[in-house]
Amino acid sequence: MKMKKFLAAVSSLVMLGAFTACGDSSSNESTNNNSNNNAEATTKADDAATEADAGADNNNSAAGKTVGIAMPTKSLERWNRDGEYLKSQFEAAGYSVELKYSDNNDNQQNNDIQGMIADKVDLLLIAAIDGSTLSQTLADAKDAGIPVIAYDRLIMNTDAVSYYVSFDNYTVGKLQGEYVVEALDLDNATGPFNIEFTAGDPADNNAGFFFNGAYDAVKKYIDDGKLNIPSGKKKFEQVATAQWSTDTALANMQNTLASYYSDGTQLDVALCSNDSTALGVAQAISSDYNGKNVPIVTGQDGDIANLKNIVDGKQSMTVYKNVSDEAGVTLEVSKAILSGQTPDASLLDSLSAEATYDTSSYDNGVKTVPSYLLVPYVITKDNLDKLVDTGLYQWDSANKYLESTASTT
C-alpha cells in the first residue's frame, strides 16, 4: 500500500483549496461524493483516487459505498480540519461521504447519526460530543449491520463500536507535564512554584486521559511541595471546562486570578489540556494577571491562533497531533472492515504514520475497544518548522506566523 504517495496526492488536493472555510457556523453539513464543483480540484481528486486505487488492495472495497462521518462542531478549529481531511481522503479512495457537524449538541448528533443510518451508510465514523449518550443510536446501527469506528474520542457504554482511532491521549498530557518539569528545571531548582490546571470537557473521554497524563508527570513535585496549587483545585472535576469552551476557560482563569493571585502571588504555570482552553487562559493572563513574569501556558492541537500566541510568547508549547495522519489511519481501518477483514496490529506495517495498536487501554464500560493510537509531539517556538514539514502549515508572507496551507482557518 502506497500510503505516503497517497497522502501526498491528498495533500496536494488539500493545498488547491478544496476545503470549506473554518468558522462557517452552519450546523448541518451534508456532502456527497465528488460534489466538488472546483474542476481543478476534482481532477486532482480523481488523480488521487486513481493513485490510491493503484497502490491499494486488489479488492476494491470502495465501489458504491458510503461512509457517514459525524463530527462534533465547527466551532473548534480542529474538527473542521478532521472533517475535511476525512472527507477528501475517503473521496479520493472512491467512497461517497456524508459529513455532519452537530453544533456540540448531543441530541442533534444522535439525530444526525440516525439520519445516516436511515440513509443506509456502509460505515460510521463518529467523534462523539458526549461519549455516553450514543448507546441507543449505536444499537440501531448494529441492528442495521453498520460497523462503527470511534474517531478520536472513545464512545462509551456500547458493544457496537468496533475500533477506536485516536492519539495516545495519556501521552499528550504527559508531554505537557514533562514540558513543565523541564522548563522550571524542577529536579534542580528550589522553587516553590505555583501551578493551576485547566482541563477539558467531562463528556469527552479523552479529557481525563489528558489531565491524568499531565498530573502524573508533575505529581511528585506537588507532593514534595516544589509545586503549589494556590487555588487548591487539583481534581479533574474542579478544573474541567464544559465543551472545551474558550470563554469558559477565560472566565474560570479570571476568577482564579482574582481569588488567589490579586495579592501579588506569582503564577508560574497554567497547565491547559488543549489549545481552545489555552486561548482563554492566555487572554485572562494578559488582561487580569498582575505579576511581572510570563507564566508557562501549555496546549494541544496546533490551532492557528495558538501558534500565533506561541510566536508572541503568550503560550509556551502545544502538543501537536497530525490529524491528516489520523484520517489516513482511519481510512485504512475502514477499508479493511469494508472488505471483510478484521484489522489488527499488522495493519500498521504498511502505514507511514507512526502509531501503535493497543488492545488494553480503552475500556468503554462494556468492552475494551481495540485502538490505533498515533504519536503526538511537542511544538514550541523553536521547532515550528516541524509543522511546515508536514505540508499542512506554511509561513505567512511576513515570515512571522504560521498559517494553514488548506485555508481552513
Which chain residues interact with ligand BGC by CB under 6 A? 76, 78, 152-153, 200, 204, 206, 244, 274, 276, 300-301, 321
Residue 145: C-alpha distances to residues 68, 84, 154, 203, 374 (Å): 14, 26, 20, 27, 28
Residue 160: Cβ within 10 Å count: 21
CB of 355 to ligand BGC, least distance (A): 15
Are 88 and 46 contacting, i.e. CB atoms less than 8 angstroms apart? no
d(CA 97, CA 179): 39
Alpha helix ranges (H) inside 74-168: 77-92, 106-118, 135-143
Q: Is 72 helix (H, G, I), strand (E, B) or coil?
A: coil
Tell the residue number behind the cell numbers 487539583, with chain if given.
234
Q: Which residue is nearest to ligand BGC (CB)?
A: 274
φ/ψ (deg, to 5) at 195: -135, 145
CB of 274 to ligand BGC, least distance (A): 3
d(CA 338, CA 167): 23
130 vs 301, beta carbon nearer ligand BGC: 301
d(CA 278, CA 250): 9
196 vs 301, beta carbon nearer ligand BGC: 301
Residue in 249, 183, 241, 242 with CA at minimum distance from that of residue 217: 183
51 vs 84, beta carbon nearer ligand BGC: 84
C-alpha cell at position 68: 457517514
94 vs 200, beta carbon nearer ligand BGC: 200
196 vs 204, beta carbon nearer ligand BGC: 204
CB of 109 to ligand BGC, least distance (A): 14
φ/ψ (deg, to 5) at 373: -120, 115
CB of 45 to ligand BGC, least distance (A): 27
130 vs 196, beta carbon nearer ligand BGC: 130
88 vs 306, beta carbon nearer ligand BGC: 306
CB of 396 to ligand BGC, least distance (A): 23
9 vs 374, beta carbon nearer ligand BGC: 374
CB of 167 to ligand BGC, least distance (A): 7
Residue 248: C-alpha distances to residues 71, 271, 290 (Å): 22, 15, 21
d(CA 201, CA 277): 10
d(CA 43, CA 402): 28
76 vs 146, beta carbon nearer ligand BGC: 76
CB of 321 to ligand BGC, least distance (A): 6
CA torsion angle for 2, 371, 72, 161 (degrees, to 10)? 110
CB of 363 to ligand BGC, least distance (A): 17
Residue 314: Cβ within 10 Å count: 19
CB of 14 to ligand BGC, least distance (A): 19
d(CA 240, CA 211): 9
